[in-house]
Amino acid sequence: MTPADRLAAAGLSLPDYGGLELGAVLPGALAAVGAGDAVAARDAEADRVRLGIPHADHAVVVLLDGLGHHQLDARRGHAPFLRSTESGIVTAGFPTTTATSLALFGTGRASGATGMTGYTAHNPATGEAANLVSWEGAGDPDDWQREPSLMRVAHEGGLAVASLGKRRFAGSGLTRAALAGGDFVGAERLSDRVDEAIQRARRPGLTYLYWGDIDAAGHKHGWQSDAWVAALEDVDQELRRLRARLPRHAAMVVTADHGMVDVTGAPRWDVGAVPELARGVRLVAGEPRALHLHMDDAAEAPAVAERWRGVLGDDAAVLLRDEAVGLGLFGPVSGHVEDRIGEVVVAMAGRATVVDSRTQSDQALGLIGVHGSLTPEELQVPLLVASEA
């Protein structure tokens, strides 16, 4: 079976890099406000046209953590504004996880260039797993992620740029790695971030607004829970208000970083309890839906891959590193990033997961909603474009 056949047999799809993808959103928005020259790695004007973002004096770009297209469609009655405004679907990159997606969004480059290869990733300098959300074990953000931040380049070129998020995100490793540049405004409530965006939209520039409560509710309660629906309803109400109060010649673009699947009752394996999975594997990085397996002896990778295929069967696509890179899962891979990708890469199918009780906390093991793989539910995210002419 070829690598492409393994992916297809698991019901998994490749990201649409260079097409309708998350990495086109910020370049397209910058082109819309006349700052497309800040994007050296891709054709920002082509991104703008492809995504249907109109020219504007100011663009407010909203990223809703955890809101997949399929989840929004399934709960359309609870989000009438978002559903009525959804203009298309874009794909996240691989893996479909926040650190990877924010870097794709912020640089226009996939994880093979940014090195943001998962929730956790192998740090070749230490041999251990680095957490790319908390930034524990990752070292200098500028060394780990070397692609230019589009917001920083645009700001240095004279564009008024602002990021709106939690106060504790100011200067964090992930912020520096993916979204550095311009003003950072800390605000805990979504309503306060919307108010700030409305004020900034009165002047030329670009404002980025991040909101994470949908993802948090999904992880803890599952995306089919009442808590998740309540978080969606809150967002729908506030973004309706943002749209209604946009000044003339301002545009609003809304997207997300990934979708989610609920895994209660689904197949689950624990590396710490299944000797066939643990044998030959020194480090398990990534997340339960997208794993990087690292070993002391790379020559053991084919045998490890065969053992994992034997255990997981149809519940995963198990690929050697060269196969995953050759398929384009990570986009073009830079030399300094290669060792952050596992010698074996595992993308889970359906709602199945692989955990590692030896290294993961009880809280992590107890998550109901998870993401990371390449099912439509995780890969496809909404695109919403609205403007005042």
209 or 363, higher pLDDT: 209
In this prediction, residue 310 carries a pLDDT of 98
| For residue 1, pLDDT beyond 90 | no
63-117: per-residue pLDDT in tens?
999 999 999 999 999 999 999 888 899 999 999 999 999 999 999 999 999 999 9
Cα Rg of the chain, angstroms? 20
Task: List C-alpha distances in Å: 206 to 59, 62, 200, 369, 380.
Answer: 5, 11, 8, 32, 25
In this prediction, residue 387 carries a pLDDT of 81
140-196: per-residue pLDDT in tens?
999 999 999 999 999 999 999 999 999 999 999 999 999 999 999 999 999 999 999
| For residue 306, pLDDT beyond 60 | yes
Q: Is the preceding omega at residue 95 within 30 degrees of 0, hence cis? A: yes
- String of DSSP letters for 192-241: HHHHHHHHHTTSSEEEEEEE-HHHHHHHHH-TTSHHHHHHHHHHHHHHHH
Tell me the mean pLDDT in the region 229-237.
Answer: 98
Q: Which residues contact 219 (CB under 8 A, 6 or more apart)?
A: 66, 260, 367, 368, 369, 370
| Helix (H) / strand (E) containing 304 | helix 301-312
- Give the alpha-carbon dihedral of 114, 132, 361, 68, to 10 degrees: -70
In this prediction, residue 32 carries a pLDDT of 98
| For residue 388, pLDDT beyond 80 | no
Q: How far apart are CA 325 and CA 59, in angstroms?
A: 35
In this prediction, residue 252 carries a pLDDT of 98
| Helix (H) / strand (E) containing 378 | helix 376-379
| For residue 389, pLDDT beyond 90 | no
